[in-house]
Amino acid sequence: MAAVGSRAGLDTISMCTEGQDGLVYMQCCGQGEGVGVQKKLNAGTEWSADGNAQQTNLLSFPRSSGVDLPYRSPESVEMDEIMAAMVLTSLSCSPVVQSPPQRDLLPGDMECCGGELSDSGSSGYWSWDHGNVSPAPSPSVTEMDRSLGQLTDEGLHMELDQAACEEPEARRCKSMSRGAYRCLWPGCGKVLTSRVGMKRHIRILHLGFLLNSGGSERSHREEDFYYTEVSSEDEETAPPSPAPSFCSGAWTSCSSTQSQSTPGPQDAPVQSSPLSQSAPSSVWQIHTEHLYQACAPIQVTVSPGSPTFCSWTPSGDVQQKPQIPASRSRSVSVGEQWLQRNSAPTRSQTMSASPSRGHCSFRKGRGEAKKCRKVYGVERRDQWCTACRWKKACQRFPD
DNA sequence: AGTGCCGGGAT
DNA sequence: ATCCCGGCACT
């Protein structure tokens, strides 16, 4: 299925229609991994992707029969019709058909994650350029190719977790319909309705990978340990766990505007807006600041997911993120962000695993982490964290 | 020697 | 509570 969303996959798409009940059946013959995905969609559209199916390319498409298409080459016309069919199906229900291992994604996601969805073709998700479709003449092949390629590039960053920033009604209808996934990370407990979103949540917030790091392969399986599937009842009884401040602008900016606007003529998708990826680290940074005065240092397990909350407001603008008091904000270097991400998980390990010293002092050996003194130098002592200034255990760069 | 920070003192 | 520093452990 991984290739279905790609051009290679589209080459083998075939479809046929049944006139009487208005169902549109599309068959996608993938090239390799051939587990089929079937989705019965709300509007009576059914998708079938089966790598083993050998089916002739029957390209009758009564739903768009009234459309006059300018003459193009047969291949182009074929692709156009395919695209038109896909576009029509996406208009009514905007499916998110995931790769077979994640086929537990149910129509709820599709209904609620509407037009803004786009997923990585390379990771096996369908990509739908949904918001820009119309029954009018379908976009040219090159246009679609371009948009598909773009979605392939960008899609990974805009997954189903967008639902977190959508309307509450939409979320409700999603959560009531079936199970969900709950983050097991200590102090988080966020519930998401899609596995992909949960994985990404864990990967980004807890495992500390930046969005654009592209999901380094080594971490791909790691998220599985940190979430669990919960039933819908569990989800409903569970308190709405605070979602960390990850309603980043790009995830939400694509949501309502595009899907709710009347489908205009083909335009370049708006989904390619770049993501702001720097905020979380700085948020963690701020929250580790001055902890010496706030609580005992031993309890500082800098869990990146815990400190901030995501308001479930539909707009989900970047400005919706919790505003950091200006007095505490400061620029954070890349190295510091790295330290923040990497020092957090190791801290508890070093604490618990080394009862080496006889007396109760938890004094650790020289960590490799830079401290304020090293980072800023003695001459810029005013930029040290409070603890360092007081010759206490550094809170800005905890071991 | 340089650094991190505990323990304790000063305010 | 806040701020500072002597002095020790560690590299």
Q: What is the pLDDT along chain A (399 residues), one digit of tens a residue?
A: 433 333 333 333 333 333 334 333 333 333 333 333 333 333 333 333 333 333 333 333 333 333 444 444 555 545 665 666 565 555 544 433 333 333 333 333 333 333 333 333 333 333 333 333 333 333 333 333 333 333 333 333 333 333 333 333 334 334 344 567 777 777 777 788 888 887 887 777 777 644 344 334 444 456 666 777 766 544 443 333 333 333 333 333 333 333 333 333 333 333 333 333 333 333 344 444 444 443 333 333 333 333 333 333 333 333 333 333 333 333 333 334 444 444 333 333 333 333 333 333 345 556 566 788 888 888 888 888 888 888 888 888 876
Report the pLDDT value the prediction gives residue A85, as an integer from 0 to 100: 57
Domain assignment of residue A364, yes or no: no
Residues A260 and A318 in one domain: no
Range(s) of the domain holding residue A61? 7-157+255-267
Domain assignment present for residue A109? The answer is yes
Strands A37-40 and A45-49: antiparallel
A187 in the same domain as A128:
no
| Count of domains for chain A | 2
On whether the CB atoms of residues A115 and A94 are closer than 8 A, the answer is yes
How many CA atoms lie within 13 Å of A372's alpha carbon, on the beta-carbon side? 23
Same domain, A99 and A203: no
Provide the CA A391 to C1' B8 distance, Å, integer. Answer: 13
Return all residues near A324 (Cβ < 8 A) that are at least 6 apart. A282, A283, A286
Does one domain contain both A34 and A168?
no
What pLDDT is recorded for position A103?
35
Query: Does residue A390 fall inside a structural domain?
Result: no
Does any domain span residue A358? no
Q: CA–C1' distance A292–B10 (Å)?
A: 20
How many angstroms separate the CA of A187 from the C1' of C7? Answer: 39
A234 and A214 within one domain: yes
At A282 the pLDDT is 37
Residue A134, strand partner residues:
none
Closest C-alpha among A272, A45, A311, A320 to residue A171: A311
Work out the widest C-alpha separation in chain A, in whole angstroms.
86
A173 and A282 in a common domain: yes
Sheet holding A180-183, edge to edge: A191-192, A180-183, A227-230
| A96 lies in some domain | yes
The 10 Å CB-count burial string (b at 16+, else e) for A26-56 is: bbbbbeeeeebbebebeeebebbbbbeeeee
Rounded Cα distance between A245 and A16, Å, is 45
Asked if A66 and A171 sit in the same domain, the reply is no
Stated as kind and residue range, the H or E segment containing A37 is strand A37-40
Residue A388 within any structural domain of the chain: no
Is residue A366's beta carbon less than 7 angstroms from any atom in nucleic acid strand B?
yes
pLDDT (0 to 100) of residue A75: 54
- In this structure, the protein residues whose CB atom falls closer than 7 angstroms to any atom of nucleic acid strand C are A 293, 357, 363, 365-366, 386, 389-392
Task: Let me know whether A85 and A228 are in one domain.
Answer: no
- What is the pLDDT at residue A81? 57
